[in-house]
Amino acid sequence: MPDWWDGRDLRSMLPKVFFVHFCNTSFVIEAENLLIGFLVGFMSQTDENVGYIHFVGVHPKFRKEGIGRKLYNQFIEQCKLNKRTIIKSCTSPINKLSISFHQRMGFTIEAGDDEIDGIPVTLNYLGDNNPKVIFRLDI
Ligand SMILES: CC(C)(COP(=O)(O)OP(=O)(O)OC[C@H]1O[C@@H](n2cnc3c(N)ncnc32)[C@H](O)[C@@H]1OP(=O)(O)O)[C@@H](O)C(=O)NCCC(=O)NCCS
């Protein structure tokens, strides 16, 4: 993950339990046995309208080739099968790439409780002092 996330080590955010219990809503794309993209998502247990994308990553050498879009489309199909009408996701305000990607994918940014660099953020969404930009897509 540090290689794919500009040196940020986010491995603790993806404990193996995700790969045990969210297999139906998580996807990988491989090319010749090389992992070139993955998405980890799940259906919200709390809000029966919502599917949530927890992580998406594409190998740096394979970016801007439509792999991220393909992973998102796959998840959207799974959400429709589960009668979900809203997809949510979040990212750190420093991750401008992710913000641009989500906007290109049609997501809007939810109103938060503060702003960083002019972008609405929710300050304590994933814990104290861990502001996040929250995305929403109606499908
Ligand atoms: C964000 C990420 C998953 C995008 O994957 P990707 O395969 O390059 O994206 P795609 O090629 O499918 O692009 C989908 C759309 O986003 C746009 N996009 C992709 N990267 C972009 C960038 N750096 N800046 C602006 N727009 C971008 C594309 O132009 C495309 O829009 P279009 O079809 O209207 O032209 C990838 O850059 C990545 O893994 N980044 C590091 C990890 C990360 O930050 N993950 C997200 C937070 S968990």
The distance from CA 119 to its chain's CA centroid, rounded to whole angstroms, is: 18
Q: Is the pLDDT of residue 48 over 90?
A: yes
- Shared domain for 21 and 63, answered yes or no, is yes
Of all protein residues, the one whose alpha carbon is nearest to atom 16 of ligand 1 is 101
- Shared domain for 34 and 69, answered yes or no, is yes
Phi and psi dihedrals of 4, rounded to 5? -90, -20
Mean pLDDT score of the chain: 96
Would you say the pTM of this structure is higher than 0.85?
yes
End-of-domain residue from the set 39, 64, 84: 84
Long-range CB contacts (< 8 A, 24+ apart) of 79-83?
A: 79/43, 79/51, 79/139, 80/139, 82/43, 82/51, 83/48
Q: With DSSP H G I counted as helix, E B as strand and the rest as coil, what are the percentages for the chain, rounded to 5?
A: 25, 35, 40
Round to whole Å and give the CA distance between 129 and 95.
16
- Shared domain for 48 and 111, answered yes or no, is no
- Give the pLDDT of residue 70: 98
- Shared domain for 108 and 95, answered yes or no, is yes
User: Of the residues 1, 3, 28, 64, which should be mutated to test ligand 1's pocket, given the most ligand atoms within 8 Å of the CB?
Assistant: 64
Model confidence band, residue 29 (pLDDT cutoffs 50, 70, 90): very high
In the chain, the percentage of residues whose pLDDT exceeds 70 is: 100
Cα-to-centroid distance, 53 and ligand 1 (Å): 14
Of all protein residues, the one whose alpha carbon is nearest to atom 48 of ligand 1 is 55
Question: Residues lining ligand 1, judged by CB closer than 6 Å?
Answer: 4-5, 55-58, 63-69, 91, 95, 97-98, 100-101, 104-105
- Asked whether 72 and 112 are in contact (CB, 8 A), the reply is no
Round to whole Å and give the CA distance between 31 and 4.
17
Task: Report, as an integer, the average pLDDT of 75-101.
Answer: 97
| Ligand 1 atom closest to 54 (CA) | 48
Q: Is the pLDDT of residue 93 over 90?
A: yes
- Give the pLDDT of residue 126: 85
Range of 79's domain?
A: 1-84
Total tally of structural domains belonging to the chain: 2
Residues facing residue 29 across a β-bridge: 37
Model confidence band, residue 59 (pLDDT cutoffs 50, 70, 90): very high
